[in-house]
Amino acid sequence: MNNPYLAQYKQQQLRACQLKQLAILEVIDGICRKHDIPYWLDGGTLLGAVRHRGFIPWDDDIDIAMRQEDMQRFADVAPQELPEGLILQTPQNQQDSTQPVAKVRYLNSFYVEPGDNMSAQYEKGIFVDIFPMTPYPPLPRKLVKRLTLGISRSYSILHKPHYYSLRSFAEFFWFGGKFLICRALWAVLSACFRNHTYISNILINNGYGITHHQDVVFPLGTITFEGKTFAAPANPDAYLKDIYHNYMDIPPVEKRVIHSIFLLPELIHDDTSF
């Protein structure tokens, strides 16, 4: 799609969207501080904090990470702690959602991602992504990437909408088998290498095979993002190099694009919102 009117509209809405996401992040930070739940800025949000002291100018989401067990603790307390207008969306409480990550969403808004299913009834407000992290064994990076790519790609294909056809029948067996084999290999290797010195996204989210040494993440530090202080990995430089390599390089203009298909920071004007 190359609609200049839509592109201009999204650019006009971007800053208001970012500020709403920042407000959501502050709420999450407050809950995590209250209940002693560790989290840290992740991905493009951490990159923005280091390179731009705030949002990447064309970025329209916020990414944070938690250890998987801490994500469960957050899921237990968040429904009681989130102010009116915010919800915690997980694969468990909105199973028709297309993404295996948790999101804190603002209901009085509308945000469409490239992978969204518009016929499904899950909420589609602007959000902060929460990625659950799990320990990884000390395996060669190429092997990690091969297995996690097989797991994440197979999971994605198996969970996309299917219609009855010979192709869908074949996909079910091919990618179902691939998923089971890769998961079994991962389980065996994890059992053989019990010294889990690395940490990364759960397997179905880690198609790039990214891993971080535990010492790069912990003990957590802090970083300034949009003039406010949030939790960050112990070594943001090493963390970002694991993901982006030469992360201080500004991408070419044609790659500085807003991620969303459509965004509307506020559906109904409300002075009493969080």
Higher pLDDT, 166 or 238: 238
Q: Residue 172's pLDDT is what?
A: 81
pLDDT, one tens digit per residue, over 60-73 is: 999 999 999 999 99
Determine the Cα–Cα distance for residues 42 and 52; give it in Å rounded to an integer: 15
Q: Residue 68's pLDDT is what?
A: 94
- Total residue length of the chain: 274
Q: Residue 231's pLDDT is what?
A: 98
Determine the Cα–Cα distance for residues 26 and 104; give it in Å rounded to an integer: 11
By CB atoms closer than 10 A (0-12, 13-18, 19+), residue 127 is buried
pLDDT grade for 175, boundaries at 50, 70 and 90:
confident
pLDDT grade for 1, boundaries at 50, 70 and 90:
low
Would you say 131 and 65 are in contact if contact means Cβ atoms under 8 Å apart?
yes
Q: What is the domain partition of the chain in residue ranges?
A: 4-132+217-264, 141-192
Q: Residue 119's pLDDT is what?
A: 81
pLDDT grade for 166, boundaries at 50, 70 and 90:
confident
**Furthest-apart CA atoms within the chain: distance in Å:** 57
pLDDT grade for 121, boundaries at 50, 70 and 90:
confident
Smallest Cα–Cα separation from 17: which of 229, 225, 262, 272? 262
Q: Residue 194's pLDDT is what?
A: 75
**Amino acid at position 89, single letter:** Q
The pLDDT of residue 165 is above 80: no
Q: Residue 224's pLDDT is what?
A: 98
pLDDT, one tens digit per residue, over 132-164 is: 999 999 998 899 999 999 999 998 888 776 676
pLDDT, one tens digit per residue, over 99-119 is: 678 999 999 999 999 888 888
pLDDT grade for 96, boundaries at 50, 70 and 90:
low
pLDDT, one tens digit per residue, over 6-35 is: 999 999 999 999 999 999 999 999 999 999
pLDDT, one tens digit per residue, over 184-198 is: 999 999 888 877 899
Could you tell me which CATH number the domain at 4-132+217-264 has? 3.30.460
Would you say 274 and 86 are in contact if contact means Cβ atoms under 8 Å apart?
yes
